[in-house]
Structure 1
Amino acid sequence: MLRLPTPRVFHLFPCRIITSILLGVVFFAVPALAVTDAQNKEKIRQEELTRTYKQLEVFSNVLSMLQENYVEEVDTADVLNGAIKGLLFNLDPHSSYLSPEEFKDLQEETSGQFTGIGIEVTVQHDELTVVSPIHGTPAESAGLKAGDLIVSIDGENTENIGAYKAIEKLRGPEGSKVNLAVIRAGWASPRNFKITRANIPLVSVEGESLSPGLVYARITNFQSNTGADLRHLLADLSQKAPIQGLILDLRNNPGGLLDQAVEVVDTFLNQGRIVYTRGRRADQNTIYNAHNNSSHAEYPLVVLINEGSASASEIVAGAIQAHKRGIIAGKKSFGKGSVQMVIPLPNGAGLRLTTARYYTPDDRSIQAMGIIPDVEVVQRKSDEENTMKRKARKEIDLANHLPGEAEKRNIREKEQNTQELKALQKRLANDNQLHAAYNILKSLNLYTRQRSKKEKL
């Protein structure tokens, strides 16, 4: 199982230019060089093995000393588990040993639900960092945001805690509470958050029609059925009216399963590379291509991202951007460009190991860089100033104005859609990034229709 949190994977062939003049030299020199090179590699390998065995001998001696001399009796299994975690701790923030309980939690998360506060975390520069709160969870309701630093959990300092130990402490029985001390950019000191744990149903895909033909879909994380759920949603929405444009909202989506990110992109492309991965071993190098079977590859598309869009979300945004299939709007994404393989172990535990980097179709690694949107839209803290502004008065705003012919024809339709329009206007007023995406989508839709008319002429 390949997972990209959560927080929510080519060969290079050197050119051979051999002229007829050099051919004899190369023919006789290569075998000698090859032997020497092989001998050197074997020598280096043997030296490395010797160093490894010496370190293992030290480890064995330390364990023996602990068992014989420590002030209290040592639980050898706990000590060894701690040693394994330490072995992985120095690699990167996403490689870790998963205890049987942690491995079970990970499986539950990708399958659809877990109990906790609903947050994805990672470790950056030895600091426990919020990747993003999951939409509709206690963490989001409490006001936690992407980029927040959690400095303590229930009074325990989080320095060097590790992401999975932190997740273990953040999760707990439904209805129980957890106290977090959080630092945010611009705050002079940490602030406390007391959050009640709940059952977190991970509804992966949700959506609705914003106006006739223009629809909205949000992916909160990438679970085992995300690709299928998105296609079902689009099919349902297209029953009401043919889809003429889509906003795909990936904001605060911490990632998830690689294959589901590929499926989502495949929904909107009929050809071309989606993503490729490159690791140390040949079997870790994989290319994922689109299939020519999509009915959603033509209409305008706007993808919304922000600082909480990570990993699998960035694969989707990067592929759409590289193929110029749609417009990426919002803020620069999180910047997690690595792939993890989760390997079950015999004792019910798991090994989560970073095995490769992934690259967008235009050969970009976004590791620690993120996806830069085509249209940057800063989310305003408040839209009160907007709503307080007086509308410019026009003829149509005057009471008892003489209606025009077009207005007469539209009165009945407007009356039917008044409630829906008010709800949409209120929603857009409270989310300026979505408002910008909606305006972009309308512009793309208008441009597409005009171009279609010209082609028919």
Structure 2
Amino acid sequence: MDKAAARASFPAMKKRLLQSLVVVLVVFNVVVGVRVYQAIGAQEKDDAGYANIAVFARAMQLIRQDYVDEKKVTYEELTHAAMRGMLNNLDPHSQFMEPKDFKGMQDDTNSRFGGLGIVVAQRDGAIVIVTPMEDSPGFKAGLLPNDQIVKIDGQSTDKMDQNEAINLLRGDPGQKVTLTILRPGTKEIKDFTIVRENIKVASVKDAKILPAEVGGDFKIGYARITQFNVPTAEELSKKLDELQAKGMQAFILDLRYNPGGLLNSAVDVCGQFLPPKTLVVSTEGRVPSQSRQYHTADTVKSRPRFPLAILINGGSASGSEIVAGALKDLNRAILVGETTFGKGSVQSVIQLQDGSAMRLTTAKYYTPSHTVIHEHGVAPTIRATLTGEQERMLMMQRREETGVETDHKELSNFRDTQLERAVDALKGVMIYADKAGVPGAKKTSTN
């Protein structure tokens, strides 16, 4: 064959070679693909993962190819939007966090952070204040639980997700932010201009023996926990020691508006009232590593088994529900108030390759009697409710204790009926024990 003929036949040879290679690759991919699909199919059975991922990939391809605004269809934006939608569709506590959101969450795990000191949640598409942390700028400004944030610095929160709202609420200390608030109880819409501060959360507050006009002939101790932090159990232990030294006969623990905090801290608080090695809470998930049991410490401080009441309401969440649920199940406390928030799930934070992260619900909390907390809450032993006006007055009373100027005349008529019901319940327990001749009833018995 001459050179010209060889050159003429080369493209045909190249074409045949490529066709053969494609056939080999197709056969290889089909064989291997079938094996992989069968292996995954054996695990996932009815969940056609490949088929659905192919639909997703095709949709992304079409969006990138045909969507009118080319600037909105980068791979990163589309992927993050899809992740956000997937996780938001699971439950209210699973979230996708872009890199800046993930960094903000890491900053918030410290005891000090910049902001307004309000805990927010998304309910029925609205950004709602679960509780303002005591001593925080939001608390002092007069924000209340269940207030709906309509605007942040003039920007509507309609169609805004929780992470977007939190990013707008954050800022450097000293900066101002204006919140437009809708108060459901009165339908009032009002602007609050608040200066951001470094927030330092105090755990145990207002520890005291209730005055005689409330406690009567009995010395009933009282303290409230605003949030479960690292030093909470230790702080509570010191306060209980001080109250016992003053002759405390019974104790009221106020967990109203407590949004939770650290799980181990909540378990350690239970250890102030329970014997060593007592099961407090368990978690269960699909993955075996998510199933765990949490007990009080092997050694706990010996205390008198004084009658105990816990105040709860719809703002008591997470760690508060663990404490209330455990002490109720173990017949160690009377719960007074309203059913708690119902946040009884475990979120695992998983960082992804691009610096973003998923907050994924991986397990649920169960009380010692294996009662689920999530979306059900913990019901009180004695139901006692506050009106919207009474709740406002209670928050005003707490603001006054922090030095915020309030209307003393208005507060003089306020009655905390939930606290009164708790006092009445404890008095009943002590009077019955005394009449029944329970040893040490007035001094209380020991564990």
Q: TM-score range by the shorter chain?
A: 0.7 to 0.9
Distance of aligned partners of 1:46 and 1:92 in 2 relative to their CA distance in 1, 3 Å threshold: closer
Aligned partner of 2:339: which letter? K
Trace 1:19-168 onto structure 2 (pairs within 5 A): 42=42, 45=45, 48-58=48-58, 60-62=60-62, 64-65=64-65, 70-72=69-71, 77-78=76-77, 80-168=79-167
Q: How far 1:155 moved relative to its partner?
A: 2.6
Moved more, 245-254 or 131-140: 131-140
Instruction: Give the structure 1 partner of residue 418 of structure 2.
Output: 433
Instruction: Give the structure 2 partner of residue 171 of structure 1.
Output: 170
Q: Secondary structure at the match of 1:111?
A: coil
Q: Which runs of 5+ in 2 are unaligned?
A: 1-37, 211-217, 392-410, 442-447
Q: Secondary structure at the match of 1:136?
A: coil
Which of structure 1's runs of 4+ aligned residues deviate more than 6 A? none
Instruction: Give the structure 2 partner of residue 325 of structure 1.
Output: 332
Q: Is the 8 A contact 1:300 1:441 kept in 2?
A: yes
Trace 1:165-204 onto structure 2 (pairs within 5 A): 165-188=164-187, 190-204=189-203
Q: How far 1:349 moved relative to its partner?
A: 4.2
Instruction: Give the structure 1 partner of residue 257 of structure 2.
Output: 252
Distance of aligned partners of 1:78 and 1:253 in 2 relative to their CA distance in 1, 3 Å threshold: same
1: CA distance between counterparts of 2:342 and 2:42?
38
Question: Structure 1 residue aligned with 2:284, among 266, 278, 299?
Answer: 278
Aligned partner of 1:57: which letter? A
2: CA distance between counterparts of 1:136 and 1:371?
27
2: CA distance between counterparts of 1:47 and 1:201?
48
Confirm or deny that 1:225 pairs with 2:231. Answer: yes
Q: How far 1:303 moved relative to its partner?
A: 0.6
1: CA distance between counterparts of 2:263 and 2:88?
23
Q: How far 1:442 moved relative to its partner?
A: 4.0
Distance of aligned partners of 1:215 and 1:341 in 2 relative to their CA distance in 1, 3 Å threshold: same
1:398-444 deviation per Cα after TM superposition (whole angstroms, max 9, x unaligned): xxxxxxxxxxxxxxxxxxxxxxxxxxxx9995533334333433443
Q: Is the 8 A contact 1:267 1:297 kept in 2?
A: no
Moved more, 440-449 or 359-368: 440-449
Q: Is the 8 A contact 1:275 1:315 kept in 2?
A: yes
Q: TM-score, structure 1 length as denominator?
A: 0.71
Instruction: Give the structure 2 partner of residue 315 of structure 1.
Output: 322
Q: How far 1:125 moved relative to its partner?
A: 2.1
Question: Structure 1 residue aligned with 2:369, among 351, 362, 375?
Answer: 362
Q: How far 1:242 moved relative to its partner?
A: 5.0
1: CA distance between counterparts of 2:316 and 2:43?
46
Aligned partner of 1:53: which letter? I
- Which structure is larger by alpha-carbon Rg, 1 or 2? 2
Q: Which runs of 5+ in 1 are unaligned?
A: 1-37, 384-425
Distance of aligned partners of 1:222 and 1:103 in 2 relative to their CA distance in 1, 3 Å threshold: farther
Q: Is the 8 A contact 2:84 2:95 kept in 1?
A: yes
2: CA distance between counterparts of 1:366 and 1:41?
34
2: CA distance between counterparts of 1:363 and 1:127?
32
Distance of aligned partners of 1:346 and 1:63 in 2 relative to their CA distance in 1, 3 Å threshold: same
Distance of aligned partners of 1:134 and 1:83 in 2 relative to their CA distance in 1, 3 Å threshold: same
Q: What is the root-mean-square deviation in Å for CA atoms of aligned residues?
A: 3.4
Greater relative contact order: 1 or 2 (C-alpha under 8 angstroms, separation 6 or more)?
1
Q: Is the 8 A contact 1:299 1:445 kept in 2?
A: no
Question: Structure 1 residue aligned with 2:246, among 227, 238, 241?
Answer: 241
What is the aligned residue count? Answer: 376
Q: Secondary structure at the match of 2:269?
A: helix
Q: Is the 8 A contact 1:177 1:194 kept in 2?
A: yes
